[in-house]
Amino acid sequence: MTSLPLTRRHLLAGTSSVLALFSVTAHARTYGAGTGLPWEPNGGEPPLPINPQGWLLFTPAEARMVEGIADRMIPADTLSIGGKEAGCAVFVDRQLAGWFGQSTRLYMRPPFMNGLPTQGLQSPNNPILQYRTGLAALEAIAKKQFSNRSFTDLKPDEQDSLLKDMEAGKLEVPDGYSSKAIFDLMLQNIMEGFFADPIYGGNKDLASWKMLGFAGTRYDHRDFVDKHNQKYPLPPVSIAGRARI
């Protein structure tokens, strides 16, 4: 479908939705005692479609940079639209504005110590700080290497060369940060945006799913499971419905 019915829930979505998205209402409750399974009308916590207007976390300059990076990681070509048009920067912005950006659900108690890579994430710096720091460093190095031009003004191959440096951990970043870790985080999130359900702001018009031939949220393949070596005939579907009916 193309548009969802506008409701109070959706109006709220523009501002607080991402924070509310994964809200866990943790009240202790008693069940059982012969009362049967609980149920109430309209139960559940469906995801709220995000409002693509504006930025919740990025400054306009940061947002332009992330859009530019998204277009280098996922360039527009005959296979699909690019990362920017797909909404990857909007996706990342909304994710950072939610619990993910502040590592709210992770174990963030001190002491923080450098461990082995096999001991996993040990940085006290949450994704918001990682992005802010990484984007600032990228902008600084762009200006330094390319006669004071902004990252977003660079040519694609110039942007690629900086991103490759960053990926290799060669970009100068403040103590406690790693340019490789920041690059990996951005790559992870931008790919998430491209391949996740469009309801989160990326994967516009199910572009990536169409490119892959992924059926999306379709929940019943009984009619196709033993049709071996045949192209799947149906278009992908989002949580919000088909791209066009």
The reply to whether 148 sits near other proteins by the rule CB under 8 A is: no
Instruction: Give 19 or 143: the residue with its C-beta nearer to other proteins.
Output: 19
φ, ψ for residue 237 (rounded to 5)? -130, 140
Residues shown for the chain: 245
Instruction: Give 175 or 220: the residue with its C-beta nearer to other proteins.
Output: 220
Instruction: Output the smallest distance, CB 122 to other proteins, in A.
Output: 6
Place of tokens 């469906």: 46
Q: For residues 49 and 10, is the Cβ–Cβ distance under 8 A?
A: yes
Cα dihedral across residues 63, 65, 69, 75: positive or negative: positive
Query: How many Å apart are CA 229 and CA 201, to the nearest integer?
Result: 33
Among residues 75, 140, 152, 158, the one that binds other proteins under rule CB under 8 A: 75
Cα of 106 vs its chain's centroid, Å: 18
Question: What are 223's two structure tokens?
Answer: 């009619």
Instruction: Output the smallest distance, CB 216 to other proteins, in A.
Output: 8
Please name the residue ranges forming H helices in 74-155. Answer: 83-86, 88-97, 127-145
Among residues 53, 147, 148, 222, the one that binds other proteins under rule CB under 8 A: 222
Instruction: Give 25 or 147: the residue with its C-beta nearer to other proteins.
Output: 25
Tell me the chain's radius of gyration from C-alpha atoms: 21
Instruction: Give 59 or 108: the residue with its C-beta nearer to other proteins.
Output: 108
Among residues 139, 153, 158, 192, the one that binds other proteins under rule CB under 8 A: 192
Among residues 85, 139, 158, 160, the one that binds other proteins under rule CB under 8 A: 160
Question: What are 125's two structure tokens?
Answer: 């710096």
User: What is the SS3 assignment for 204?
Assistant: helix
Instruction: Give 6 or 147: the residue with its C-beta nearer to other proteins.
Output: 6
Q: Which of 147, 149, 240 is nearest to 198 (CA)?
A: 240
Among residues 53, 60, 109, 148, the one that binds other proteins under rule CB under 8 A: 109
Q: For residues 6 and 245, is the Cβ–Cβ distance under 8 A?
A: no
The reply to whether 104 sits near other proteins by the rule CB under 8 A is: yes
Among residues 11, 15, 59, 79, the one that binds other proteins under rule CB under 8 A: 79
Among residues 41, 53, 148, 175, the one that binds other proteins under rule CB under 8 A: 41
Q: What's at 66, amino acid-wise?
A: V
Instruction: Output the smallest distance, CB 7 to other proteins, in A.
Output: 6
Place of tokens 């461990």: 115
Among residues 92, 131, 208, 243, the one that binds other proteins under rule CB under 8 A: 208
Instruction: Output the smallest distance, CB 163 to other proteins, in A.
Output: 8
Q: For residues 63 and 134, is the Cβ–Cβ distance under 8 A?
A: no
Positions in 2-31 near other proteins (CB under 8 A): 3-5, 7-9, 22, 24-31
